[in-house]
Amino acid sequence: MKQNRLPIMPPLLSPGDCVAIVAPASHIPTANKGYLEQGAERLRAMGFEVIYAPSLLKRKHLYLAGEDQERAEELTAMFLDHEVKAILCARGGYGCQRIIPYLDPDLIRTHPKPLVGCSDITVLLIYLLHQCHLIPFHGPNVASQQFVEGNAEMAQALKMVLTSPVPIAQITCSVLKEGDAEGEIIGGCLSSLVTTVATPYEPDLGQKILFVEDVNEPPYKIDRMLTHLKSAGKLTGIKGVIFGQMPGCDTEQGLLHEVIHDVLKEVEGPILFNFPSGHGPHNLTIPLGVPIRIHEGTVTFHKEVKNG
Protein backbone atom coordinates (compact mmCIF):
# COMPACT_ATOMS: atom_id res chain seq x y z
CA MET A 1 0.00 0.00 0.00
CA LYS A 2 1.35 3.43 -0.88
CA GLN A 3 2.17 5.49 2.16
CA ASN A 4 1.61 8.91 0.59
CA ARG A 5 -2.16 8.58 0.26
CA LEU A 6 -4.24 11.26 1.91
CA PRO A 7 -6.41 10.10 4.80
CA ILE A 8 -10.16 9.93 4.22
CA MET A 9 -12.65 11.53 6.58
CA PRO A 10 -15.39 8.90 7.08
CA PRO A 11 -18.98 9.84 6.20
CA LEU A 12 -21.06 11.76 8.71
CA LEU A 13 -23.92 10.10 10.55
CA SER A 14 -27.57 11.12 10.39
CA PRO A 15 -30.19 11.06 13.18
CA GLY A 16 -31.28 7.51 13.93
CA ASP A 17 -28.21 5.87 12.43
CA CYS A 18 -26.89 2.69 13.98
CA VAL A 19 -23.61 2.60 15.92
CA ALA A 20 -21.88 -0.58 17.06
CA ILE A 21 -20.01 -1.14 20.33
CA VAL A 22 -17.01 -3.44 20.02
CA ALA A 23 -14.27 -4.69 22.36
CA PRO A 24 -11.02 -4.93 20.37
CA ALA A 25 -8.88 -4.98 23.52
CA SER A 26 -9.71 -6.09 27.07
CA HIS A 27 -12.88 -7.84 28.12
CA ILE A 28 -15.68 -6.17 30.06
CA PRO A 29 -15.62 -7.39 33.66
CA THR A 30 -18.90 -8.34 35.27
CA ALA A 31 -18.55 -5.32 37.55
CA ASN A 32 -18.44 -3.05 34.47
CA LYS A 33 -21.43 -4.53 32.68
CA GLY A 34 -23.58 -1.73 34.05
CA TYR A 35 -21.33 0.84 32.38
CA LEU A 36 -21.91 -0.86 29.03
CA GLU A 37 -25.67 -0.69 29.44
CA GLN A 38 -25.58 2.90 30.69
CA GLY A 39 -23.18 3.93 27.93
CA ALA A 40 -25.47 2.44 25.31
CA GLU A 41 -28.43 4.26 26.83
CA ARG A 42 -26.53 7.54 26.65
CA LEU A 43 -25.87 6.91 22.97
CA ARG A 44 -29.57 6.27 22.41
CA ALA A 45 -30.35 9.56 24.15
CA MET A 46 -28.07 11.20 21.58
CA GLY A 47 -30.33 9.87 18.82
CA PHE A 48 -28.47 6.73 17.73
CA GLU A 49 -29.55 3.14 17.49
CA VAL A 50 -27.08 0.87 19.28
CA ILE A 51 -26.00 -2.70 18.66
CA TYR A 52 -23.38 -4.77 20.45
CA ALA A 53 -20.77 -6.92 18.82
CA PRO A 54 -22.24 -10.46 19.13
CA SER A 55 -19.78 -11.75 21.72
CA LEU A 56 -19.23 -8.57 23.67
CA LEU A 57 -20.14 -10.17 26.98
CA LYS A 58 -19.94 -13.84 26.04
CA ARG A 59 -16.25 -14.66 25.93
CA LYS A 60 -12.91 -13.98 27.54
CA HIS A 61 -9.36 -15.04 26.70
CA LEU A 62 -6.81 -14.19 29.37
CA TYR A 63 -7.65 -10.53 30.06
CA LEU A 64 -8.86 -9.99 26.48
CA ALA A 65 -12.34 -9.94 24.96
CA GLY A 66 -11.71 -13.17 23.08
CA GLU A 67 -9.00 -14.69 20.91
CA ASP A 68 -7.05 -12.23 18.74
CA GLN A 69 -8.44 -13.43 15.42
CA GLU A 70 -11.97 -13.48 16.82
CA ARG A 71 -11.73 -9.86 17.95
CA ALA A 72 -10.27 -8.83 14.61
CA GLU A 73 -13.01 -10.63 12.69
CA GLU A 74 -15.69 -9.02 14.81
CA LEU A 75 -14.24 -5.55 14.23
CA THR A 76 -13.96 -6.23 10.50
CA ALA A 77 -17.57 -7.39 10.40
CA MET A 78 -18.68 -4.04 11.79
CA PHE A 79 -16.80 -2.20 9.05
CA LEU A 80 -18.55 -4.42 6.48
CA ASP A 81 -22.04 -4.16 8.00
CA HIS A 82 -23.97 -1.66 5.88
CA GLU A 83 -26.36 -0.92 8.76
CA VAL A 84 -23.53 0.17 11.08
CA LYS A 85 -22.45 3.77 10.48
CA ALA A 86 -19.90 4.20 13.31
CA ILE A 87 -17.87 1.94 15.59
CA LEU A 88 -17.38 2.82 19.26
CA CYS A 89 -14.96 0.97 21.50
CA ALA A 90 -16.18 -0.38 24.83
CA ARG A 91 -12.95 -0.05 26.79
CA GLY A 92 -9.18 0.00 26.50
CA GLY A 93 -6.91 -1.94 28.82
CA TYR A 94 -4.71 -3.93 26.47
CA GLY A 95 -5.03 -5.98 23.33
CA CYS A 96 -5.26 -3.89 20.16
CA GLN A 97 -1.69 -4.69 19.13
CA ARG A 98 -2.57 -8.35 18.99
CA ILE A 99 -5.39 -8.01 16.44
CA ILE A 100 -3.58 -5.86 13.88
CA PRO A 101 -1.98 -8.80 12.01
CA TYR A 102 -5.50 -10.08 11.33
CA LEU A 103 -6.87 -6.83 9.88
CA ASP A 104 -7.05 -5.94 6.17
CA PRO A 105 -6.21 -2.26 5.63
CA ASP A 106 -7.55 -2.15 2.07
CA LEU A 107 -10.87 -3.64 3.15
CA ILE A 108 -11.20 -1.13 5.98
CA ARG A 109 -10.33 1.81 3.76
CA THR A 110 -12.95 0.82 1.19
CA HIS A 111 -15.58 0.71 3.95
CA PRO A 112 -14.75 3.93 5.83
CA LYS A 113 -16.52 4.54 9.13
CA PRO A 114 -15.72 6.60 12.22
CA LEU A 115 -14.03 4.59 14.96
CA VAL A 116 -13.85 6.18 18.42
CA GLY A 117 -11.79 5.15 21.44
CA CYS A 118 -8.86 5.98 23.67
CA SER A 119 -6.24 4.47 25.97
CA ASP A 120 -5.05 1.16 24.43
CA ILE A 121 -7.30 1.94 21.45
CA THR A 122 -4.58 4.47 20.51
CA VAL A 123 -2.72 1.63 18.80
CA LEU A 124 -5.75 0.95 16.62
CA LEU A 125 -6.27 4.64 15.89
CA ILE A 126 -2.69 4.95 14.67
CA TYR A 127 -3.08 1.82 12.55
CA LEU A 128 -6.24 3.19 10.94
CA LEU A 129 -4.56 6.48 10.12
CA HIS A 130 -1.22 5.22 8.83
CA GLN A 131 -2.08 1.83 7.33
CA CYS A 132 -5.70 2.33 6.27
CA HIS A 133 -5.42 6.07 5.57
CA LEU A 134 -8.67 6.66 7.42
CA ILE A 135 -9.25 9.49 9.90
CA PRO A 136 -9.85 7.97 13.38
CA PHE A 137 -11.29 9.66 16.45
CA HIS A 138 -9.74 9.92 19.90
CA GLY A 139 -12.63 9.98 22.35
CA PRO A 140 -14.29 8.18 25.25
CA ASN A 141 -14.67 4.43 25.50
CA VAL A 142 -18.39 4.06 25.99
CA ALA A 143 -18.49 1.22 28.55
CA SER A 144 -16.58 3.36 31.03
CA GLN A 145 -17.29 5.38 34.12
CA GLN A 146 -15.79 8.35 32.32
CA PHE A 147 -18.39 8.29 29.56
CA VAL A 148 -21.35 7.29 31.71
CA GLU A 149 -20.72 9.98 34.31
CA GLY A 150 -19.24 12.57 31.96
CA ASN A 151 -20.85 15.95 31.50
CA ALA A 152 -23.08 17.05 28.64
CA GLU A 153 -20.11 18.66 26.88
CA MET A 154 -18.45 15.27 26.46
CA ALA A 155 -21.58 13.74 24.93
CA GLN A 156 -22.18 16.76 22.72
CA ALA A 157 -18.60 16.68 21.42
CA LEU A 158 -18.96 13.04 20.44
CA LYS A 159 -22.28 13.63 18.69
CA MET A 160 -21.02 16.74 16.89
CA VAL A 161 -17.90 15.03 15.55
CA LEU A 162 -19.97 12.15 14.22
CA THR A 163 -22.83 14.18 12.71
CA SER A 164 -21.69 17.71 11.92
CA PRO A 165 -19.32 19.17 9.30
CA VAL A 166 -18.71 22.14 11.60
CA PRO A 167 -15.14 22.04 12.95
CA ILE A 168 -14.48 21.62 16.65
CA ALA A 169 -14.61 24.84 18.63
CA GLN A 170 -11.34 26.56 19.45
CA ILE A 171 -9.78 25.20 22.64
CA THR A 172 -7.47 27.22 24.86
CA CYS A 173 -4.83 25.39 26.89
CA SER A 174 -2.14 26.19 29.42
CA VAL A 175 1.09 27.23 27.71
CA LEU A 176 4.33 25.55 28.77
CA LYS A 177 6.25 26.96 25.82
CA GLU A 178 5.06 29.79 23.63
CA GLY A 179 4.88 29.67 19.88
CA ASP A 180 2.64 29.16 16.87
CA ALA A 181 2.40 26.06 14.71
CA GLU A 182 0.35 24.43 12.00
CA GLY A 183 0.27 20.75 11.09
CA GLU A 184 -1.64 17.50 11.38
CA ILE A 185 -2.42 16.30 14.89
CA ILE A 186 -1.39 12.74 15.72
CA GLY A 187 -1.02 10.73 18.91
CA GLY A 188 -3.09 9.50 21.82
CA CYS A 189 -2.20 7.69 25.03
CA LEU A 190 1.56 8.07 25.47
CA SER A 191 2.20 4.62 26.95
CA SER A 192 0.36 3.03 24.00
CA LEU A 193 1.95 5.29 21.41
CA VAL A 194 5.43 4.26 22.53
CA THR A 195 4.64 0.60 21.83
CA THR A 196 4.15 1.34 18.13
CA VAL A 197 7.81 2.32 17.63
CA ALA A 198 9.66 -0.10 15.33
CA THR A 199 6.40 -1.75 14.23
CA PRO A 200 4.98 -1.63 10.69
CA TYR A 201 2.33 0.81 11.88
CA GLU A 202 4.49 3.30 13.78
CA PRO A 203 3.41 6.87 13.01
CA ASP A 204 5.47 9.36 11.07
CA LEU A 205 5.56 12.35 13.42
CA GLY A 206 7.73 14.55 11.19
CA GLN A 207 6.13 17.96 10.59
CA LYS A 208 3.20 16.88 12.76
CA ILE A 209 1.82 18.23 16.03
CA LEU A 210 2.07 15.52 18.66
CA PHE A 211 -0.84 14.98 21.04
CA VAL A 212 -0.22 12.81 24.11
CA GLU A 213 -2.08 12.02 27.31
CA ASP A 214 -1.91 9.36 30.03
CA VAL A 215 -3.07 8.39 33.50
CA ASN A 216 -1.32 7.41 36.75
CA GLU A 217 2.14 7.46 35.21
CA PRO A 218 4.63 9.23 37.55
CA PRO A 219 6.94 11.87 36.09
CA TYR A 220 9.91 9.53 35.73
CA LYS A 221 7.83 7.21 33.54
CA ILE A 222 6.65 10.13 31.41
CA ASP A 223 10.33 11.09 31.14
CA ARG A 224 11.26 7.56 30.08
CA MET A 225 8.57 7.37 27.40
CA LEU A 226 9.28 10.81 25.94
CA THR A 227 13.02 10.08 26.00
CA HIS A 228 12.38 6.80 24.18
CA LEU A 229 10.48 8.63 21.44
CA LYS A 230 13.28 11.17 21.20
CA SER A 231 16.01 8.51 21.11
CA ALA A 232 14.12 6.67 18.38
CA GLY A 233 14.11 9.83 16.29
CA LYS A 234 10.34 10.18 16.44
CA LEU A 235 10.43 13.76 17.75
CA THR A 236 12.77 15.08 15.07
CA GLY A 237 11.02 17.79 13.10
CA ILE A 238 7.77 17.85 15.07
CA LYS A 239 6.06 21.24 15.03
CA GLY A 240 4.71 21.24 18.57
CA VAL A 241 3.36 19.12 21.42
CA ILE A 242 -0.07 19.15 23.05
CA PHE A 243 -0.48 17.37 26.38
CA GLY A 244 -4.00 16.30 27.17
CA GLN A 245 -5.33 15.48 30.58
CA MET A 246 -2.70 13.74 32.75
CA PRO A 247 -4.52 12.68 35.96
CA GLY A 248 -2.26 11.04 38.52
CA CYS A 249 0.87 11.84 36.54
CA ASP A 250 2.17 14.75 38.62
CA THR A 251 2.92 12.88 41.85
CA GLU A 252 5.08 15.77 43.02
CA GLN A 253 3.25 18.97 42.21
CA GLY A 254 5.01 20.81 39.42
CA LEU A 255 7.58 18.09 38.70
CA LEU A 256 5.78 16.90 35.56
CA HIS A 257 6.06 20.33 33.98
CA GLU A 258 9.77 20.41 34.81
CA VAL A 259 10.22 17.00 33.18
CA ILE A 260 8.41 18.13 30.04
CA HIS A 261 10.53 21.26 29.77
CA ASP A 262 13.72 19.27 30.30
CA VAL A 263 13.06 16.39 27.91
CA LEU A 264 11.44 18.48 25.18
CA LYS A 265 13.75 21.50 25.35
CA GLU A 266 14.87 20.87 21.77
CA VAL A 267 11.34 21.05 20.37
CA GLU A 268 11.16 24.30 18.42
CA GLY A 269 7.39 24.73 18.43
CA PRO A 270 4.86 25.41 21.18
CA ILE A 271 4.10 23.04 24.05
CA LEU A 272 0.60 23.13 25.51
CA PHE A 273 -0.86 21.40 28.55
CA ASN A 274 -4.31 20.32 29.78
CA PHE A 275 -6.02 19.93 26.42
CA PRO A 276 -9.45 18.50 27.35
CA SER A 277 -9.04 15.01 25.90
CA GLY A 278 -7.78 11.85 27.52
CA HIS A 279 -8.25 9.87 30.70
CA GLY A 280 -9.51 12.81 32.75
CA PRO A 281 -13.09 13.97 33.28
CA HIS A 282 -13.37 15.96 30.02
CA ASN A 283 -12.56 13.59 27.19
CA LEU A 284 -13.66 15.55 24.13
CA THR A 285 -13.74 13.58 20.89
CA ILE A 286 -11.25 14.83 18.31
CA PRO A 287 -10.19 13.60 14.86
CA LEU A 288 -6.58 12.59 14.34
CA GLY A 289 -4.67 13.21 11.14
CA VAL A 290 -6.41 16.52 10.42
CA PRO A 291 -4.73 19.93 10.19
CA ILE A 292 -4.78 22.15 13.26
CA ARG A 293 -3.33 25.49 14.20
CA ILE A 294 -1.82 26.59 17.51
CA HIS A 295 -1.81 30.33 18.15
CA GLU A 296 -1.26 31.94 21.53
CA GLY A 297 -2.23 28.76 23.36
CA THR A 298 -5.42 28.19 21.37
CA VAL A 299 -5.95 25.08 19.22
CA THR A 300 -8.08 25.43 16.08
CA PHE A 301 -9.15 22.47 13.96
CA HIS A 302 -9.39 23.01 10.20
CA LYS A 303 -11.73 21.35 7.72
CA GLU A 304 -9.43 20.58 4.78
CA VAL A 305 -9.94 16.82 4.83
CA LYS A 306 -11.58 14.76 2.09
CA ASN A 307 -14.83 13.13 3.16
CA GLY A 308 -15.46 9.51 2.26
Convert the pLDDT of each residue in 194-247 to its tens digit: 999 999 999 999 999 999 999 999 999 999 999 999 999 999 999 999 999 999
Domain that holds residue 268: 171-301
Point out the catalytic residue in the list 27, 111, 130, 213. Answer: 213
Q: Are residues 88 and 199 in the same domain?
A: no
Q: Are residues 297 and 239 in the same domain?
A: yes
Q: Are residues 74 and 182 in the same domain?
A: no
Which residues are CB-neighbours of 281 under 8 A, at least 6 positions away? Answer: 146, 150, 151, 245
- Residue 278 contacts residue 213 (beta carbons within 8 Å): yes
Point out the catalytic residue in the list 27, 130, 133, 279. Answer: 279
> pTM score, two decimals?
0.95
Q: How many domains does the chain have?
A: 2
Q: Are residues 198 and 284 in the same domain?
A: yes
Report the Cα 226 to chain-centroid distance in Å. Answer: 18
Query: Percentage of the chain with pLDDT > 90?
Result: 88
Which residues are CB-neighbours of 82 under 8 A, at least 6 positions away? Answer: none
Q: Are residues 228 and 211 in the same domain?
A: yes
Q: Is residue 3 part of a domain?
A: no
- Confirm whether 49 is a catalytic residue: no
Convert the pLDDT of each residue in 252-288 to its tens digit: 889 999 999 999 999 999 999 999 999 998 899 999 9
Q: Is residue 9 part of a domain?
A: no
Above 50 in pLDDT, residue 308? no
Which residues are CB-neighbours of 21 under 8 A, at least 6 positions away? Answer: 36, 39, 40, 50, 51, 52, 53, 56, 88, 89, 90, 142, 143
Q: Is residue 256 part of a domain?
A: yes
Beta bridge partners of 210: 186, 241
Q: Are residues 195 and 275 in the same domain?
A: yes
Radius of gyration (C-alpha) of the chain in whole angstroms? 18
Above 60 in pLDDT, residue 1? no
Q: Is residue 4 part of a domain?
A: no
- Confirm whether 279 is a catalytic residue: yes
Q: Is residue 253 part of a domain?
A: yes
Q: Are residues 177 and 157 in the same domain?
A: no
Q: Are residues 51 and 144 in the same domain?
A: yes
Convert the pLDDT of each residue in 27-45 to its tens digit: 998 888 999 999 999 999 9
Q: Are residues 149 and 279 in the same domain?
A: no
Distance, CA of 14 to CA of 137 (rounded, Å) = 17
- Domain with residue 146: its CATH number is 3.40.50.10740
Q: Are residues 144 and 263 in the same domain?
A: no
- Domain with residue 187: its CATH number is 3.50.30.60
Point out the catalytic residue in the list 119, 191, 192, 277. Answer: 119
Above 50 in pLDDT, residue 305? no
